[in-house]
Amino acid sequence: MERQIIKGIIYNDLDEQVGPNPKLYLPEDFSQLDLLHISVKTFAVLTGEGGVIPESLVVLPFPSLQLKGLIKYIQWEDPNKRGGVGHSNIAVLFQEMDDVVFYKYMREISVPFNDITQNIIYLEKSDANEEQIFNELINLENAITELLDDFRNQELKESKMEALSDQVIDRSMIDFQFKIIVVGDPTVGKTSLVLRYTNNAFRRSYVSTMGVHVSNKIFKAEDSTIIQLVLWDVGGQERFKVMRKQFYQGSDAVFLVFDLTNPESFSNIPVWISDIKKQTDLSEEDIIGYVIGNKKDLENEKKINSEDAQILAQKFNLGYLETSALSGENVNYAFTTLAKILYKSRSQ
């Protein structure tokens, strides 16, 4: 691969004496404070669940480390432990920008996790030494890395096929081209939504020094009209503010994205609308698009009422949708619906 996507793997044990314990980890350059922070958080999210652990993989953010983790919880019968049950978990760490890779291929990546989990349960029951469990972590890293390599190569092949398709559908054959800007606070999932829609988990042209990521998708409407969407994923960091005017220019529509689990990102939606108006000649009536409440899959962590979000969107004459880059819910619908609105307005 061009770069290593997996940044680390930690095996966390719930020790009866010390509590959450980062028992084994690789690579070995994690600080003990970071390891403890990760270990505590992986177990803390289970508080109040009555001892029930999720069977599927769980994605947890670690914002202070600019990482996310794919967590697999493990339990096994152990008469020597309190309650007769042992608890641990495996945390595979990756950069926040790569979350869409794991969202897209979650089902496939679950397979090696399940296999390694069964091996670890056997080793824990057999009182195996730590080296044997550590080897299982290495096996997991190798298995996931191999899968990611395969997925990336598959996407590269698809990219070549798309390039050939684009040669067949050259620019002269495109009936309508629309520029859509995607804005919102950092970490609300803008890039994940765009990459989920364009089917590009690995391929990206993000220019961190400029704060913009441009993607496009060409498709045929129901009447065989060929439409190209050019999607401008605009960096939400304050340092990119002075550059946004050139990114906003010529836009046909907007997605204003907030995180359903983050009230501050919701409160800042009017700020983003004000920024667009200030940097362009558009009035509120001229702005076409949707307010998007992302991370719909995190139902238990949701802090924004859907009715309140709907009222805010209506205030600015915008639609409202809730999406999940993890499950893909409403992602295609959001982009294609907006494209249809633009197409209808342009073809009248």
d(CA 213, CA 197): 14
| Residue 159 counted as domain residue | no
d(CA 17, CA 81): 11
Helix segments in the chain, DSSP class H: 32-44, 99-104, 106-125, 130-168, 190-198, 244-248, 263-267, 269-279, 306-315, 331-347
Residue-wise over 253-270: b if at least 16 C-beta within 10 A, else e?
bbbbbbbbbbeebbebbe
d(CA 252, CA 197): 18
Closest CA to 206 of 296, 95, 125, 346: 95
Task: Read off the DSSP letter of residue 16.
Answer: T
Cα angle 186, 192, 295 (rounded to 5 degrees) comes to 75
Q: Do 10 and 128 fall within a single domain?
A: yes
With tokens 């719909």, the residue in question is: 296
| Residue 1 counted as domain residue | no
Instruction: Quote the tokens at residue 328.
Output: 């893909």
Element (H, E) at 230: strand 226-234
Number of domains in the chain: 2
Q: Do 133 and 217 fall within a single domain?
A: no
Domain that holds residue 246: 171-347
Q: Do 98 and 199 fall within a single domain?
A: no
Q: What is the CATH number of the domain that holds 180?
A: 3.40.50.300
For 184, phi then psi, to 5°, come to 155, 170
Q: Give the domain-ending residue among 87, 118, 152.
A: 152
Q: Do 286 and 188 fall within a single domain?
A: yes
| Residue 166 counted as domain residue | no
Instruction: Quote the tokens at residue 133.
Output: 């469990």
Q: Do 123 and 178 fall within a single domain?
A: no
Q: Do 333 and 210 fall within a single domain?
A: yes
Identify the pLDDT of residue 253.
93
Q: Do 121 and 231 fall within a single domain?
A: no
| Residue 295 counted as domain residue | yes
Instruction: Quote the tokens at residue 96.
Output: 């926040």
- Residue 3: how many other CB atoms lie within 10 Å: 6
| Residue 158 counted as domain residue | no
Q: Do 244 and 131 fall within a single domain?
A: no
| Residue 326 counted as domain residue | yes
Which residues lie below 8 Å from residue 275, measured CB to CB, with a gap of 6+?
Answer: 183, 241, 244
Mean pLDDT by 10 residues, the chain (348 residues): 77 90 90 95 81 85 89 92 89 85 86 94 92 95 90 72 52 81 90 82 47 78 83 75 77 94 96 88 78 92 95 95 90 92 81
d(CA 253, CA 178): 8
